[in-house]
């Protein structure tokens, strides 16, 4: 039964991705998604609340879920490279999806997905049992990194992914590990 649910999720995701490459997300209807997937409309609602939840599931399944073990192993650079490669594979979909603004914006959905993924990983780490500062909760730290990662990802996508993924990771690491003073002084 679980395999059948995953199969329907994949059909709906692929249908949605194809439609996003031809029209704005705001104009895509659930009927168009289900017709293209070859399922009936009620099937969609058995799996997703709306097309924005489907978009969130695509981001989590295709981009973030595979990186969890790498992040847990401290291989953050490799995880970011894997994320960027996944986005690059579906380049047209993500470029067009990044245009979704307003309520349920693509950026908001991406940031929430990254935050939730990082929070799940951070909640299992001992460092948060006795934090250096009471502000350094898993919730605050995951939100901070989600904000910064999302910003880098959004700029990269919106500029047509013209910078190679490895360079994006290097830029992110430079900014995140240097103070603003160091950056301004060119250190």
pLDDT over threshold 90, residue 45: yes
pLDDT in tens, 84-103: 999 999 999 999 999 999 98
What's the gap between Cα 187 and its chain centre?
31
Q: What radius of gyration do the chain's Cα atoms show?
A: 18
Tell me the per-residue pLDDT of 160-185, one tens digit each, with 9 for 90 and over.
999 999 999 999 999 999 998 988 88
Q: How far is CA 145 from CA 31, 115, 166, in A?
A: 37, 8, 18
Enter the CATH code of domain 1-48: 1.10.10.60
Provide the pLDDT confidence category of residue 127 given band limits of 50, 70 and 90.
low
Q: Hunting for tokens 């997300």 — which residue is that?
A: 25
- Could you tell me the residue ranges of all domains in the chain? 1-48, 50-184
Contact 48, 12 (CB under 8 A): yes
Task: Domain 50-184: state its class.
Answer: mainly alpha
Question: How many residues are given for the chain?
Answer: 187
Question: In whole angstroms, what is the distance from residue 166 CA to residue 164 CA?
Answer: 6
**Contact partners, residue 185, CB within 8 Å, separation at least 6:** none
């Amino acid at each position: 039964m679980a395999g059948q649910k995953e199969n329907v999720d994949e059909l709906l995701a692929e249908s949605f991705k194809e439609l996003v490459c031809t029209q704005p997300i705001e104009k895509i209807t659930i009927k168009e998604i289900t017709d293209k997937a070859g399922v009936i409309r009620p099937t969609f609602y058995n799996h997703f609340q709306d097309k924005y939840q489907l978009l969130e599931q695509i981001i989590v399944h295709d981009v973030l879920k595979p990186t969890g073990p790498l992040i847990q192993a401290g291989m953050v650079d490799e995880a970011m490279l894997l994320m960027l490669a996944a986005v690059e594979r579906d380049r047209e979909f993500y470029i067009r999806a990044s245009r979704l603004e307003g309520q349920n914006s693509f950026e908001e959905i991406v940031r929430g997905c990254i935050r939730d993924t990082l929070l799940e990983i951070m909640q299992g780490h001992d460092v948060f049992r006795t934090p250096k500062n009471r502000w350094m909760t898993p919730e605050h730290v995951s939100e901070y990194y989600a904000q910064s990662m999302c910003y880098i990802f959004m700029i990269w996508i919106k500029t047509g992914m013209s910078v190679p993924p490895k360079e994006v990771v290097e830029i992110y690491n430079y900014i995140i590990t240097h103070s603003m003073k160091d950056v301004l002084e060119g250190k």
